[in-house]
A and B are shown apart, each in its own frame.
Chain A
């Protein structure tokens, strides 16, 4: 393998890692950024998305629509959970963590009980191309495109739309937002639903590349948690981007040079070092540097 091939393959892996990190963390990130709640049932939202995708696909629905159904279904589940359970734990962050972990336990074990340990997976579309040294899966590249689109979409949603304005107001100061006529409860429910829907969508997209079972989401949650810890909740988009780009680089290099397990360990160690240096998250740190330099 010559140097150019090596660089191209590394870049391809980097794009792949970034796509997986963005997709598996974005729903968790939005919920955490908006309400400070870590949704421990995030992996189960992904699982629900994957299950609905698989069931829809085998009911004869075209793959893209099946994946979208997965996202919508998880979103509905998310809204219901927020209304019935999660909203009782706002303002008690640790309790909300435990409560959503309870939900996670019920959903995954319930799926195991009702639907068994494995369901049919969905074939990967598009196929692949390349030479002996280097194979590209078109679907992996497609996922990278989706990840970028989702980030752009979420950015637009929060910066351009009326919902985004209300949501940002609520995030900054729920009391004042309520006083100015924002239905804070509705904003929370919709945000939680949005986070769950994005998780479900990611679950549906990943379902096309892997086996699906009740604990399927747990393959993705540890790295999603690390992404959130590194990113912090202060700035949604820039936090997510900075976190994913740095973690992705570490993971790609270590995975490429050693193995997948050490790649994950390296992410964790990097996260621990980073939080030691900038405890409130990378985006907050960058923001503060920016403000300082502006003040001169």
Chain B
């Protein structure tokens, strides 16, 4: 057993560091099994189910971004979906204008990733360099996103065109706004032969989301376990002391905030590519409380827990939505119950319990603290 552990550490390096729970061989076995199952899913699921599941998975990036800043950095943003929306809108607007000229969406992708990051940098500079209190950052982000919603809702008139893209008021970008041009799906490749269109119902889209998900998961694990990741956690625990030790707290908070915006924008771009529409709703209260619920209930201090919890809760809210208006009430109760009974998160709590069972059976090394 000890030998496999050493081997894992050498193979995975930082990815298997101490700041993310789940480091033992059984844990990684589960991860590999999960990825294999997910990769085989398209052969088992119907087209409709796959379409749905692709959508669930594309929310994971938004949740990971929030997990990173809140769980690891101690920065809570109640307006995280603003970056999803800005990414989606920027991608959609540039895509509508350029898809026919270029035949691909590389520039739209770049705009969709870049614009939210620029906005995050501007807002973050104002907030973090003012050393603003955490609660202020949280509610200011909410105010920002609600104002964007109000702004976009009044863009139904004919004056609101950006090139060929009509902002469309509360109908948003897409076929519902009575305009022929809808935002294109991601169309990526080099030259006409390799061009792939990632439409929501295709397997290509599903594998794109899955691949990006695995990459981001491993990348973020390496990030939080890096030197910078340790400083980030130190800031969460005590910003003043971290600063006294000579670290630039403000610059790091700003950078991580931008990184979280980048992750959120990935969800936004995938959302538009999936359904070829986006509406101002994504800036509203409900879209913004959802990621907070996912991350809080799942376990904000663990990337793994966040992914598992997000997929489960998105699935659950869709099941509940069929029952009518009850979905949000139930989610609210789940949030409150989770926070009161298992403040560190339900998935994290379950993971610890599973880890302890493994421990008792004598497999794995990290036991209760790092189990899952």
Contacts of B343 in A (CB 8 A): 95
| B329–A109 CB distance below 8 A | yes
Inter-subunit contact A99/B339 (CB<8 Å): yes
A93 part of interface (Cβ distance < 8 Å): yes
Q: Check A229–B131 contact: CB distance below 8 A.
A: no
Please indicate which of the listed interface residues B70, B150, B289, B336 has the most CB atoms of chain A within 10 Å of its own CB.
B336
Question: Hey, which chain A residues are within 8 Å of B140, CB to CB?
Answer: 225, 229, 268, 271-272
Tell me whether B244 is interfacial, beta carbon within 8 Å: no
Closest to A101 in B: B289
Determine chain A's interface SS by DSSP, over half rule. helix
Counting CB contacts under 8 A, is B151 at the interface? yes
Given contacts A94-B70, A94-B134, A261-B151, contact A113 B325 (CB under 8 A): yes
CA distance A229 to B139 in the complex (A): 9
Is A118 interfacial (CB 8 A cutoff)?
Answer: no
Say yes or no: B135 contacts A85, CB within 8 Å. Answer: no
A63 to chain B, nearest CB (A): 30
| A residues 269-289 in Cβ contact with B at 8 Å | 271-273, 275-276, 279-280
What is the CA–CA distance of A272 and B147 in the complex, to the nearest angstrom? 14
Q: Give the docked Cα–Cα distance between A272 and B129 (Å).
A: 11
In the complex, chain B residues whose CB is within 8 Å of the CB of A88: 340
Query: Does A106 count as interface, using CB distance less than 8 angstroms?
Result: yes
Does A175 interact with chain B (Cβ within 8 Å)?
A: no
In this complex, what residue of A is CB-closest to B337? A102
Contacts A93-B134, A109-B329, A110-B329 given; does A98 touch B147 at CB 8 Å: no
- Whether a CB of chain B sits under 8 angstroms from the CB of A241 is no
Residue in chain B with minimal CB distance to A226: B143
Total B residues in contact with A, Cβ cutoff 8 Å:
44
Question: Which residues on A sit within 8 Å (CB–CB) of B134?
Answer: 93-94
CB pair A264–B150 under 8 Å, yes or no, is yes
| Cβ-neighbour of A276 out of B129, B147, B332 (below 8 A) | B129
State in angstroms the CA–CA spacing of A276 and B78 once bound together.
20
Interface set, chain B 314-365, CB cutoff 8 A to A: 324-326, 328-329, 331-333, 335-336, 339-340, 343
B40 within 8 A of A: no
What residue in chain A is nearest B150 (Cβ atoms)?
Answer: A261
Number of interface residues of A (CB under 8 A): 39
Asked if A98 contacts B296 (CB within 8 A), the reply is yes
User: Once the chains are docked, how many angstroms separate the CA of A38 from the CA of B331?
Assistant: 21
A48 to chain B minimum Cβ distance, whole angstroms, is: 16
A window 236-276: CB within 8 A of B = 261, 264-265, 268, 271-273, 275-276
Q: Residue-by-residue, is A80-117 near B (CB-CB < 8 Å gives 1, otherwise 0)?
A: 00000100110001110111011101100110110000
B329: chain A residues within 8 A (beta carbon): 105-106, 109-110, 113
The reply on B245 being an interface residue by CB < 8 A is no
Whether B150 contacts A106 by the Cβ 8 Å rule is: no
CA distance A88 to B336 in the complex (A): 11
Interface residue? B220 (CB, 8 A): no
A98 to B328, Cβ gap below 8 A? Answer: no
Q: Of B70, B147, B326, B335, which contacts A105 at CB under 8 A? A: B335
> In the assembled complex, which residues on chain B have CB atoms less than 8 Å from the CB atom of A98?
76, 292, 296, 335, 339
**When chains A and B are docked, how far (Å) is the Cα of A225 from the Cα of B289?**
16
Given A97, A112, A229, A271, which contacts B325 in the complex, CB threshold below 8 Å? A112
- A154–B151 CA distance with the chains assembled, in angstroms: 35
